[in-house]
Amino acid sequence: MKTLLKSDNWYLKCGAFIMAVILLTVLTGLFWTPYDPNYMDTSARLSSPSFAHLFGTDNFGRDIFSRVMQGLGTSFMVSFCINLIGLIIGTIVGAAAGYSGGLFDDVLMRICDAITAFPSVMLALVIIAVIGRGDMDIIWILGTLFIPSYARMVRSEFVQQKSCNYVRMARLMGAKPLRIIFVHILPNIYKTLLPAATIGFNNAVLAEASMSFLGIGVSANRPSLGRMLNESQGFLIGGAPWYAAFVGFSIVLLVMGLALLGEGLQAEQNRGKK
C-alpha cells in the first residue's frame, strides 16, 4: 500500500483508486441500496435527479442510483466469471500445448487463432441467438470465447520457460510434468498473467455491456448496465436524458478504471524486468 502511494506510476494509482471506489459501491450494493432497486414508485416516474433520487428515477419509478449500484455488481460478477473461465481453462490448455509441443500444440494453436480472428461480441451474438438465452448463458459463452487469448499467452510463456535452467533441473531431478507445470512454471508467469487478466476483465465488461445493450445479455430480473442504457435510449427525447447519461458514465468509469489498472500493472511489470 505504501509503495503504491509513493509510486510515480499514475496509471496504477488512478486505476486502483477508481476500482476501489467501484468495488466499494458494488459491495455496498450487495447489502444496502438507498431504495429497493426493483421498487416501483408510481408517483415518481422519470423524476429528475434530486437529493431523494441522486440519479433520478426510470420509467417504472425505480431509483436509478440503486439500480446502477446493483448493475455495476452484475457487470462485475459476470465479467469476473467470464474471465475466471477463460483464465483457468486457457491456462490449462496453454500449459498443455506449450509444455508438450509438437502436433498437439500446432492443432490447439490453430484453433485458437481461428477463434481469436473473430471479434468476440460478434461470435457470442451468433452463438447466443442460435442457442437461445438463459439468464446466465452469456457467462459461459463469452468465457469460452476468452479461452484462446489466454491460452496463447500462457503457451508462449511456457515455451520460453521450458528452456530455462530451473525447469531443466527439475526435470533432471525426476519431477513429473504436472508438478513442473503447476509448481515450477506457473508461479513464474503469474506476473505476466495479472495485467493480461485485468485487460481481459476490461474486454469482458465491454462485451457484456454490448450484449445486454442489444437485449441479449442477462435477464430483466437483474439490473444490468447495458440493458439499462438500451432502455434509457427511449427517453432521450422529452423524457429523461440524464438516465442515459448516468448509466453510460458508470460504464465508462468501470472500463476506465480497469484499463488504467491493467496499464499500470503492465508498466510495473516492465519496470521489474529492467
Partner 1 sequence: MKYVLKKAINLILTVVLVSFLAFCAFQIIGDPIARMLGAEATPEKIAQLREELGFNRPVMTRYLEWAGNFLRGDMGISYSYKLPVAEMVLPKLGTTVALTLMAFVLTCVASISIGVFQVRLKSARIDRLMTVANQIIMSIPPFFIGILFTCFFGLVLHWFTPGYFVSFKEDPAGFFGYLFLPAVSIAIPKISQCVKMLRSQTGAELEKDYIRTAYSRGMNTGFAVNYHALHNAIIPVISFLAVSLAEMLASCIIIEQIFTIPGIGRLLLSSISSRDFTVVLAIVVILVIWVIVVNYIADIIYPLVDPRIKVSK
Partner 2 sequence: MNKKIISVLLAALMIFSLCSCGKDKGSERKAANEVVIGIAQDLGDSLNPYQMTAAGTKEIMTNLYEGLYKVAPSGDYVPAVAEDCNISEDGTVYTFPLRQGVKFHNGKEVTAEDVIYSFKTCLEISVDSSLPAVLQSADVKSEGNNIVITLSAANNDFLAYVSLVYIIPEGYSAEAATNPVGTGPYKFVSRSVQESIVFEKFDEYWGTPASIKKVTCKIHENSTALIAAINAGAIDLVPHLTLDQVAGIGEGYDVLEDSMKLVQALYLNNAREPFNDVRVRKAICYALDIDEILKITAEGHGSKLGSSIYPAFSKYFDESLVGMYPHNVDEAKRLLTEAGYPDGFSMTVTVPSNYTPHVNVGQVIVRQLQEAGIKAELKEIEWNSWLTDVYSGRDFDSTVSGFDASTLTANALLARWTSDNKKNMIGFKSERYDELIAKATVETDDAIRTQLYKEATRVLAEEAANAYIQDLAEYTVINKDLSGYTFYPLYRIDFTTIYYK
Residues engaged in binding partner 2 (CB under 8 A) = 38-40, 42, 45, 59-61, 132, 215, 219-221, 233-239
Q: Which residue has the cell 508438478?
A: 179
Q: Interaction with partner 1 in 216-245: which residues (CB under 8 A)?
A: 229, 233, 236-237, 241, 244
Q: Which residue has the cell 489498472?
A: 261
Q: Does 72 bind partner 1 (CB under 8 A)?
A: no
Phi, psi of 57 (to 5 degrees): -125, 160
Give CA–CA dist 202/224, Å, rounded.
Answer: 16
Selected range binding partner 1 among 33-41, 119-127, 153-161, 191-199, rule: CB under 8 A: 119-127
Give yes or no for a contact between 201 and 149, defined as CB atoms under 8 angstroms apart.
Answer: no
Q: Does 213 bind partner 1 (CB under 8 A)?
A: yes
Considering beta carbons, is residue 133 or 184 the nearer one to partner 1?
133
Spatial CA neighbour of 62 closest among 246, 215, 258: 246
CA distances from 109 to 12, 43, 112, 229 (A): 32, 58, 5, 37
Which one of partner 1, partner 2, none is in contact with 3 (Cβ closer than 5 to 8 A by kind)? none
3-state secondary structure of 173: coil
Which one of partner 1, partner 2, none is in contact with 210 (Cβ closer than 5 to 8 A by kind)? partner 1
We find the least distance from the C-beta atom of residue 181 to partner 1, in angstroms, to be 29
Selected range binding partner 1 among 31-39, 72-80, 124-132, 186-194, rule: CB under 8 A: 124-132
CA distances from 56 to 50, 179, 231 (A): 6, 56, 15
We find the least distance from the C-beta atom of residue 212 to partner 1, in angstroms, to be 10
Which one of partner 2, partner 1, none is in contact with 61 (Cβ closer than 5 to 8 A by kind)? partner 2
Give CA–CA dist 122/142, Å, rounded.
Answer: 11
Considering beta carbons, is residue 95 or 244 the nearer one to partner 2?
244
Which one of partner 2, partner 1, none is in contact with 102 (Cβ closer than 5 to 8 A by kind)? none
We find the least distance from the C-beta atom of residue 235 to partner 1, in angstroms, to be 11
Considering beta carbons, is residue 17 or 35 the nearer one to partner 2?
35
Which one of partner 2, partner 1, none is in contact with 125 (Cβ closer than 5 to 8 A by kind)? partner 1
Give yes or no for a contact between 93 and 106, defined as CB atoms under 8 angstroms apart.
Answer: no
DSSP letter at 223 equals: -
Spatial CA neighbour of 30 closest among 72, 63, 86, 82: 72
Q: Compute and round to an integer the Cα radius of gyration of the chain.
A: 22
Give CA–CA dist 33/67, Å, rounded.
Answer: 8
The residues binding partner 1 (CB under 8 A) are 114, 117-119, 121-122, 125-126, 129-132, 206, 209-210, 213-214, 229, 233, 236-237, 241, 244, 248, 251-253, 255-256, 259-260
